[in-house]
């Protein structure tokens, strides 16, 4: 076996002739000497374990074997992130670099069935769940005690999100939402990791209370039993099949046959349905924008995790939460007061 790290002499000669300081440029690209050191440490870990080596190139594998290889590689990377997090006690950097950076794309070339868990499931909980809900769900999600995905797109509705057909109807007698897929075109279609991997899901559905539609809102839904991994009653789930690429992502379909979830499973940071009178209320001052740029990156989200932020964070349309975002505009100090006044204006019985 040849040493893959031996540099071709022609290439070495060209490198020796270069007119700039290679180290300086490397630091510039990485964002500083320390970043370069951290990157090299991560790369060394991967090379040492040999996770990048494929006994049979994945392009020759069956669909099932491609999926299993992707699961194996993804699990290795997540264990590695966990180890680095414990050693370095850092923020979200290792997640961003290993999953979203060049290392992740080099190793998980055909996609990963766990990516949606980190790029959409966790960030949506951070951006759309109330503090109480974050306390309940985020620890389990970060520990991978539960694996989630994000189901927005439907067979008949991609870009046109307002047209989504999945319904979430509040039943005040049981304090539950009833999720339903009324048509074939309302089936969720595409979510990564949905087909065989995820056991929880953020579902974007049309909210109905007292017979009135309030537009699309996110809900957390358990899809599979946490022990047996079998789909729960009323959950119709499967794989959409082989694609031209991304065959490691395990993209799936999902339909609901009157599936009941507790009221608390609506993500309630920005709006909620009151238990007593089924009244729907907004909790945010500004809910105009539905845009990628208003979605938090993992880093941004983690920086205010634990605080009650009243920013405008609508349904995410981006599946790449690791790309840099423009800085968030400063919020005025009376945001909380304004929000409370607005909420009270809609329903005077609401307590702070």
Ligand X SMILES: Cc1cc2nc3c(=O)[nH]c(=O)nc-3n(C[C@H](O)[C@H](O)[C@H](O)COP(=O)(O)OP(=O)(O)OC[C@H]3O[C@@H](n4cnc5c(N)ncnc54)[C@H](O)[C@@H]3O)c2cc1C
Contact positions vs ligand X (CB under 6 A):
116, 149-153, 158-159, 190-192, 246, 251, 319
Residue nearest to ligand X (CB): 158
For residues 117 and 269, which CB has a smaller minimum distance to ligand X in the complex?
A: 117
Nearer to ligand X, 159 or 349 (CB): 159
Shortest Cβ 299–ligand X spacing (Å): 21
Q: Which is nearer to ligand X, 246 or 311 (CB)?
A: 246
Closest-CA residue to 142 (of 338, 290, 344, 302): 302
DSSP letter (8 states) at residue 197: T
Q: What three-state secondary structure class fits 116?
A: helix
- Retrieve residue 296's tokens: 């938090």
Q: How far is the CB of 192 from ligand X (least distance, A)?
A: 4
The secondary structure of residue 203, as a DSSP letter, is: E
- Helix 22-30 crosses helix 33-49 at what angle (to 10 degrees)? 90
Measured from the CB atom, is 222 or 278 closer to ligand X? 222
The CB-of-158 to ligand X minimum distance in angstroms stands at: 2
- Minimum CB separation of residue 208 from ligand X in Å reads 21
CB atoms within 10 A of CB 318: 17
Write down how long the chain is.
352
Could you please report the per-residue DSSP string of 163-215? G---EEEEETTTTEEEEE--SGGGSEE--TTTTTT-SEEEEEEEEEETTEEEE
Please say which residue, 247 or 285, places its beta carbon nearer to ligand X. 247
Please report how close the Cβ of residue 188 comes to ligand X at its closest, in angstroms: 7
How many C-beta atoms lie closer than 10 Å to residue 348's C-beta?
Answer: 7
Query: Closest CB to ligand X among 208 and 253?
Result: 253
Q: What does DSSP assign to residue 290?
A: -
Q: CB-hemisphere CA count at 13 Å for 197?
A: 28
Give me the least distance between CB of 218 and ligand X, in Å please: 11
Residue located via tokens 């208003």: 294
Of the two residues 246 and 336, which places its CB atom closer to ligand X in the complex?
246
Smallest gap from residue 159 Cβ to ligand X (A)? 3
Provide the Cα torsion 61, 64, 68, 70; round to 10°: 70
Burial class of residue 220, CB neighbours in 10 A (0-12, 13-18, 19+): buried
């Amino acid at each position: 076996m040849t040493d893959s790290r031996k540099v071709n002499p022609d290439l070495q000669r060209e490198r020796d002739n270069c007119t700039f300081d290679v180290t300086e440029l490397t630091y510039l690209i990485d964002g500083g000497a320390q970043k370069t050191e951290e990157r090299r440490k991560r790369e060394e870990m991967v090379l040492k374990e040999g996770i990048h080596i494929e006994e049979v190139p994945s392009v020759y594998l069956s669909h099932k074997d491609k999926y299993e290889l992707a699961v194996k590689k993804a699990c290795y990377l997540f264990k590695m992130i966990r180890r680095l997090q414990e050693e370095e006690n850092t923020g979200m950097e290792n997640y961003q670099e290993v999953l979203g950076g060049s290392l992740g794309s080099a190793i998980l070339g055909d996609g990963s069935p766990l990516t949606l868990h980190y790029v959409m499931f966790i960030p949506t909980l951070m951006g759309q769940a109330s503090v109480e809900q974050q306390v309940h769900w985020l620890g389990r999600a970060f520990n991978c005690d539960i694996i989630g995905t994000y189901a927005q797109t439907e067979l008949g509705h991609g870009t046109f999100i307002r047209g989504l057909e999945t319904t979430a109807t509040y039943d005040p007698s049981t304090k539950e939402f009833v999720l339903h897929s009324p048509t074939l075109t309302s089936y969720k279609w595409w979510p990564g990791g949905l087909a065989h991997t995820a056991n929880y899901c953020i579902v974007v559905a049309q909210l109905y209370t007292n017979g009135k539609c309030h537009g699309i809102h996110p809900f957390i839904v358990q899809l599979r039993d946490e022990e047996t991994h079998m789909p729960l009653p009323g959950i119709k789930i499967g794989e959409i099949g082989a694609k031209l690429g991304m065959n490691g992502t395990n993209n799936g379909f999902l339909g609901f046959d009157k599936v009941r979830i507790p009221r608390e499973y609506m993500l309630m940071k920005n709006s909620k349905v009151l238990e007593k009178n089924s009244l729907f209320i907004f909790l945010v001052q500004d809910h105009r924008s539905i845009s990628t740029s208003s979605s938090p990156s993992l880093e941004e989200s983690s920086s205010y995790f634990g605080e009650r932020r009243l920013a405008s964070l609508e349904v995410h349309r981006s599946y790449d939460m690791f790309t840099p975002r423009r800085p968030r505009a400063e919020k005025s100090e009376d945001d909380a007061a304004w929000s409370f006044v607005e909420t009270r204006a809609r329903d005077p019985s609401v307590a702070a």
